[in-house]
Amino acid sequence: MSATSLAEKWVDGTAGMTRPSNVVWCDGSKAEYDRLIEEMLRDGTLLPLNARTYPSCYLHRSHPSDVARTEQLTFICTRDKQDAGPTNNWMAPPEAKAKAGAYFDGAMRGRAMYVIPYLMGPAGSTMSRTGIMVTDSAYVVASMHIMARVGNVAMKAMRRDDDFIAGVHSLGDLSPDRRLILHFPEEKLIWSVGSGYGGNALLGKKCHALRLGSWQARQEGWLAEHMLIIGVEDPKGDVTYLAAAMPSASGKTNLAMAVASLPGWRVWTVGDDIAWIHVDSTGQLRAINPEKGFFGVAPNTSPKTNPNATAMVKSNTIFTNVALTPSGEPWWEGLTPQPPAGLVDWQGRPWRPGTPAAHPNSRFTVPVHQCPSVAPNWEEPQGVPISGFIFGSRRTKVIPLVFEAFDWTHGVFLGSAMSTETTAAITGQVGVVRRDPMAMLPFCGYNMADYFAHWLATGPRASNAPRIFRVNWFRKGEDGKFLWPGYGDNVRVLKWIVERIRGGGRAQETPIGWIPAADGLDTEGLGLSRAQVAEALRVDRGEWLQALADLGDFYDQFGSRLPQAIAATLADTRRKLGT
Ligand code: OXD
Ligand code: MN
């Protein structure tokens, strides 16, 4: 059977369930994108923005109850519940299919069903993978055009006739009561119904590239990670590539395109959200960005916090749930110090001060190549060589600004120990501390204990395993103010990391890892006192012991599946801290 015919057969079966009025195979062309935009401008799905200052930019307003990922409605549907593990919602595949099948039944009646063959990763890369998704949302098709490589390029990349992840998406009736995001890793299948929100509906992104991707990665011996990829260039012109895991809406896009505050230093952007990482035949870890666009959080993006993003969203961008100025420009909190007069809020109503103008999880969708800091080699099929991993989270307490793991196993432990304060990227309470190992809690498609084991096994396969670092830009002092300025000054931390990787960088040993020595960080011109830097880097034994007790409880749920090396490293750290 040819590749096309197996895909066609699956598409026919899906149409039999959803019963669209017609089926449209997408080719990924500009003409197709333009047609979709026209159609959405006509039916009000998109509003035009100021054609002079924001050419080819549009605003989409979503249903007010469909604005973020809904983790409580997201399931891993494996035959054996243990394979999904205790950190995932699980449903037995037959039950999941029966439930969602009822929502999908005839859901596309009167609408077109678009078939989108898409490639995650650069054309010509052995690391890239194909997906074929269907959807009844033109907004999803246009967004997929920006976020993935759509059309024949995807079909051509298939290695076998069944070498694709199949995804079914329908807006359904957009009711949260009839919304499910289901993953069937054993069948390479995704079913998503009842949401048009990017993280739930652009199936190439979280569903394929992370949840099913991580499952495939474990089987095939690679890593699918919630990580940005950057090249850090020093004043001599040498570039060191790093991959960094950070929870949603915690400054990942800002770091991915940071403008260095240090003369001669520069950050090159390869990706801002997902990294697929392989050990090559020489033992070098290499990463590709499987995506072709950014789906970034708008609020707080400004010429100060992220000048590159502010510049790149000035054309060919789809905005979702931002506010609108009287001159037809997008606006969000933080873009300018004062809100412009006459704002219309994200729901299309006159803005009332004291209420959000843009939704806190409002987004921009924009092609990667528009980023002024895009790395010249960002689409290199063999990927970029990774020399260091960074695990970063949002913690007002406990976690120092930066420290380095003693070795690979200790670094995996530090990643597994990550916790963070929640943000508006997920539906639910904002600002509560939750465990988020490697920033993968919502995205690991299998038992997280097995995921830790997979990480532990990957380092020794590398001829020169990357160094592992932990960062936290969000620590606050007694006065409730951030201890570190963040943004472009984070490059000062990257400088220390690069120095450490190259065998330099002054550091002192502590029970939790290597911390920059008093003069280790380049703080010249920052105006920070020595005491403030010391406070940002301080290891508080009491806070740590409490945090490690909580970590122990988290690990307990994995039972005997938790790798022994992780349990041993926890015990070792406790002992060093003086219990
Ligand atoms: C994202 C997320 O959209 O992590 O990248 O929620
Ligand atoms: Mn993300």
pLDDT in tens, 272-321: 999 999 999 999 999 999 999 999 999 999 999 999 999 999 999 999 99
Contact yes or no for 404/414 (Cβ under 8 A) = no
SS3 readout for 223-248: EEECEEEEEEECCCCCEEEEEEECCC
- Evaluate if residue 3 carries a pLDDT over 70: no
> Cβ(310)–Cβ(303) under 8 Å?
yes
Predicted TM-score of the model (pTM): 0.97
What is the predicted pLDDT for the residue at 1? 45
What pLDDT does 526 receive? 94
Closest to 107 measured CA to CA, from 137, 132, 77, 63: 137
> Which ligand is nearest the CA of 361, by number?
1
Q: Over the chain, what is the mean pLDDT?
A: 96
**DSSP label of 560:** G
Cβ-contact 62, 70 below 8 angstroms: no
Q: What is the pLDDT of residues 114-168, one digit of tens each?
A: 999 999 999 999 999 999 999 999 999 999 999 999 999 999 999 999 999 999 9
Closest CA to 488 of 264, 259, 335: 259
For residue 527, count other CB atoms closer than 10 A to its CB. Answer: 8
Which one of the ligands is nearest to 363 CA? 1
The residues, ordered by sequence, that sit 6+ positions from 524 with a Cβ below 8 Å of its Cβ are: none
DSSP 140: H
Nearest Cα residue to atom 1 of ligand 1 = 248
CA atoms within 13 A on the CB side of 171: 22
SS3 label, residue 44: coil
Nearest-atom number in ligand 1 for the CA of 252 is 5
Half-sphere exposure of 458 (CA within 13 A, CB side): 26
- What pLDDT was estimated at residue 4? 58
Distance CA 495, CA 477 (A): 24
Average pLDDT over residues 97-123: 98
The pLDDT score that the predictor gives to residue 424 is 86
3-state helix, strand, coil in the chain (%, to 5): 30, 25, 45
pLDDT in tens, 189-222: 999 999 999 999 999 999 999 999 999 999 999 9
CA distance 200 to 45: 18
Confidence band of 530 (pLDDT split at 50, 70, 90) = very high
Instruction: Give residue 2's pLDDT.
Output: 53
Residue 199 Cα to ligand 1 middle (Å): 6
Please report where in the chains the tokens 């495939």 appear, as a residue.
216
Residue 136 Cα to ligand 2 middle (Å): 24
User: How many A from CA of 505 to the centre of ligand 2?
Assistant: 30
CA dist., res. 223 & res. 496, Å (int): 26
Ligand 1 neighbourhood includes 295 CB (under 6 angstroms): yes
Mean pLDDT of 252-279: 97
What structural domains and CATH numbers belong to the chain?
A: 3-44+71-221 (3.40.449.10), 225-292+376-578 (3.90.228.20)
Round to whole Å and give the CA distance between 309 and 247: 19
How far away, in angstroms, is 295 Cα from ligand 1 center?
8
Mean pLDDT within 455-462: 98
Q: What's the pLDDT band for 56 if we cut at 50, 70, 90?
A: very high
List 344's β-bridge partners, or say none: 324, 350
Residue 541, both tokens? 């034994």
Whether 14 shows a pLDDT value over 50: the answer reads yes
**CA angle 105–183–66, rounded 5-degree value:** 70
Residue 104: half-sphere exposure toward Cβ, Cα within 13 Å:
26
User: Among 252, 248, 284, 246, which Cα is nearest to 270's?
Assistant: 252
Ligand 1 touching residue 197 (CB < 6 A): no
Read off the pLDDT band of 552 (50, 70, 90). Answer: very high
253 Cβ inside 6 Å of ligand 1? no
Percent residues over pLDDT 90 in the chain: 96
Judged by DSSP in three states, 124 sits in coil
Ligand 1 centroid–CA 425 distance in Å is 6
Counting residues of the chain whose pLDDT is more than 70, the rounded percentage is 99
